[in-house]
């Protein structure tokens, strides 16, 4: 029976889950795949943590050089996170002739071109299923099962922290700040939540996924990004009354006009499959020209779900001798002929705090009309009993992003009795 040795870099949440799965299911893999996958080495600065996980003292490495020079190690699993020292460690492993499996979306998004170049040069594999959507096997599906399609769009809820926060704000009416504190206390959000709540994490993942979908290099710097920290429970409540649910969406589209890639909060109709994806679950909704619409759903993070994705890549690597790489020219920047659409189309939810007097709504709609924006719905609300001001909620028909920005700026400048309180895109 073929024996394959694995080294794990980092035994934190994800690394610990990976170690548990690999060691606990070893016999299963021998029976099902005729391969004996053995954890031969672990690089972890916290030795007590490693020993508590069951790692033998003799398998604890002191540095990356020990792993790279170990002839028993065939595959290196990187679960450290961040750019350094992860990047240096992964490049060292690849250049030592070891295949690499990583869960590091920031590293792969920013430096995947360098890692892939080293993998190609050394004729080894580079696997990254666990970088996107935790245990949901969307990357393997795109590379294998859906490759007969031209993928035209991908819309995803791909960050569990923000989805948990928005679910709690929607269901309980709590403020963003209060729910964030709760998420941090439960371990769903980091002490510094910037990467999640400001959309960076989702942007890294969309860069990876849209590149595979559209067979083009999509640098994260070309993706429009907007976070959730400015969302108000007031707007979430009005959205519910209008039949919408708020989500942080990662959206990618490919058409004759170019590639459209953006991450931002958006109202989703309650009838859409993504509307029912709650808490820390993730989902990716993909449209192909042959298959139509398909959706992948599951846990987007955590020790065991992400470990499941890593181990899937380990088994794939262990049972395949031919390694595949990107189907596009994987360079740092997009190809010169790639056109990015920034003035995209959307419907919009607009909330204004306006003086409660005749003609104010007409002034607002007149300015919107000046920029070619037509209104689909209007709600006027002064339920709080205020006699001087009223909330005016407008939902537009589809229009251009640039038109909305110009119209909102003009309303803020020209109407002294009207304040722009919220602008949220509607899917």
- 355-379-427-414 Cα dihedral, nearest 10 degrees: -20
What is the block-wise mean pLDDT of the chain (427 residues), using blocks of 10 residues? 96 94 96 96 94 92 97 97 97 98 98 98 97 94 93 97 96 94 88 95 98 97 97 96 97 97 98 95 96 95 93 97 92 95 97 88 95 94 71 96 97 92 96
- CATH code: domain of residue 403: 3.30.70.260
Residue 114 inside a domain? The answer is: yes
Residues 285 and 390 in one domain: no
Provide the residue range defining the domain that includes 104: 2-131
Residues 286 and 422 in one domain: no
Residue at a domain's end among 74, 108, 131: 131
Residues 208 and 283 in one domain: yes
Strand order, beta sheet including 126-127: 60-61, 35-43, 2-9, 75-78, 99-102, 126-127
Residue 338 inside a domain? The answer is: no
Residues 123 and 154 in one domain: no
Q: Total domain count for the chain?
A: 3
User: Measuring CA to CA, how many Å separate 320 from each of 46, 229, 241?
Assistant: 33, 45, 53
Residue 286 inside a domain? The answer is: yes
Residue 330 inside a domain? The answer is: no
At 381 the pLDDT is 81
**Strands 258-269 vs 418-426: parallel, antiparallel or unpaired:** parallel
Residue at a domain's end among 299, 316, 334: 299
At 359 the pLDDT is 86
Q: If we measure between CA atoms, which residue out of 351, 158, 132, 377 comes closest to residue 247?
A: 158
Residue 309 inside a domain? The answer is: no
**CA 1 to the chain's CA centroid:** 39
At 170 the pLDDT is 96
At 387 the pLDDT is 65
Answer yes or no: are the C-beta atoms of 326 and 399 closer than 8 Å.
no
Residues 75 and 174 in one domain: no
Residue 41 inside a domain? The answer is: yes
User: H/E element holding 155?
Assistant: strand 151-157
At 357 the pLDDT is 83
At 171 the pLDDT is 95
Answer yes or no: are the C-beta atoms of 281 and 300 closer than 8 Å.
yes
- CATH code: domain of residue 283: 3.30.360.10
Residues 97 and 179 in one domain: no
Residue 50 inside a domain? The answer is: yes
User: Which residues carry out catalysis?
Assistant: 205
Residues 161 and 279 in one domain: yes
Residue at a domain's end among 88, 107, 131: 131
At 272 the pLDDT is 96
- CATH code: domain of residue 35: 3.40.50.720
Residues 147 and 126 in one domain: no
> pTM of the predicted model, to two decimals?
0.94
């Amino acid at each position: 029976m073929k024996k394959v040795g694995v080294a794990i870099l980092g035994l934190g949440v994800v690394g610990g889950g990976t170690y548990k799965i690999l060691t606990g299911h070893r016999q299963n893999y021998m029976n099902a795949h005729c391969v004996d996958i053995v954890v031969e080495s672990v690089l972890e600065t916290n030795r007590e943590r490693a020993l508590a996980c069951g790692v033998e003292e003799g398998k604890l490495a002191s540095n990356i050089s020990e792993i790279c020079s170990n002839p028993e190690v065939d595959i290196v699993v990187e679960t450290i996170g961040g750019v350094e020292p992860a990047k240096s460690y992964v490049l060292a492993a690849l250049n030592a002739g070891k295949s690499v499996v990583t869960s590091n979306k920031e590293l792969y998004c920013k430096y995947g071109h360098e890692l892939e170049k080293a993998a190609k040069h050394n004729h080894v594999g580079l696997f990254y299923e666990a970088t996107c959507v935790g245990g949901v096997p969307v990357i393997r599906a795109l590379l294998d099962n859906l490759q007969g399609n031209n993928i035209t769009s991908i819309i995803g809820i791909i960050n569990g922290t923000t989805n948990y926060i928005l679910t709690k704000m929607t269901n309980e009416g709590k403020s963003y700040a209060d729910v964030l504190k709760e998420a941090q206390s439960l371990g769903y959000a980091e002490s510094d939540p910037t990467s999640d709540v400001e959309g960076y994490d989702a942007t890294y993942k969309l860069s990876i996924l849209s590149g595979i979908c559209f067979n083009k290099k999509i640098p994260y710097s070309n993706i429009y990004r907007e976070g959730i920290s400015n969302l108000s429970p007031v707007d979430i409540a009005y959205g519910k009354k209008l039949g919408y649910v708020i989500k942080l969406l990662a959206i990618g589209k490919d058409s004759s006009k170019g590639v459209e890639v953006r991450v931002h909060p958006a109202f989703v109709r309650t009838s859409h499959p993504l509307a029912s994806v709650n808490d820390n679950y993730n989902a990716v909704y993909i449209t192909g020209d042959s298959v139509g619409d398909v959706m992948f759903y599951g846990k987007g993070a955590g020790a065991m779900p992400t470990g499941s994705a890593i181990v899937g890549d380990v088994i794939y690597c262990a049972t395949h001798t031919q390694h595949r790489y990107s189907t596009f020219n994987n360079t740092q920047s997009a190809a010169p002929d790639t056109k990015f659409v920034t003035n995209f189309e959307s419907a919009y939810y607009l909330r204004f705090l306006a003086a409660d007097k005749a003609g104010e709504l007409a002034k607002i709609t007149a300015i919107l009309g000046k920029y070619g924006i037509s209104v689909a719905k209007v709600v006027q609300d002064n339920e709080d009993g205020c006699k001087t001001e009223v909330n005016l909620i407008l939902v537009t028909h589809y229009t251009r992003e640039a038109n909305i920005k110009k119209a909102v700026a003009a309303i803020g400048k020209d109407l002294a009795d009207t304040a722009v309180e919220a602008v949220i895109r509607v899917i």
